[in-house]
Amino acid sequence: MGEQLVEISRLVTEAMEKANTAFTTADTELAQDVIASDARIDFLQNHLDERAIEILALQGPVASDLRVIVGSLRMSASLERMGDLARHIAQLTRMRYPELVIPEHLRPTFAQFAEHDIAISRSLTELLDTRNLDLARDINRHNEQVNELHAGIFKAIASPDFNAAPSTAVDVALASRYFERFADHGISVSRKVTYLVTGEWTTNGNVG
Domains in the chain: boundaries: 2-198
- Could you give the C-alpha distances from 80 to 6, 20, 187, 197, in angstroms and in order? 12, 18, 14, 22
Q: What is the CA radius of gyration of the chain?
A: 18
Question: Could you tell me the CA-to-CA distances from 191 to 1, 80, 88, 164 in Å, in that order?
Answer: 17, 16, 25, 39
99: left (phi over 0), alpha (psi -120 to 50) or beta: beta
Helix (H, G, I), strand (E, B) or coil at 63: helix
Q: How far apart are CA 37 and CA 40, in angstroms?
A: 6
3-state secondary structure of 161: coil
CATH of domain 2-198: 1.20.58.220
Note the pLDDT of residue 19: 98
The Cβ-side half-sphere exposure at 102, using a 13 Å CA radius, reads: 23
Nearest-angstrom CA–CA distance, 127 and 51? 22
Among the ranges given (21-30, 85-94, 152-161), the one the predictor scored with the smallest mean pLDDT: 152-161
Higher pLDDT, 63 or 6: 6
Please, which pLDDT band fits residue 68 given cuts at 50, 70 and 90? confident
Look up residue 59 and give its DSSP letter. Answer: T
pLDDT at position 130 is 95
Q: What global pTM score does this model have?
A: 0.92
Neighbours of 58 (CB within 10 A): 8
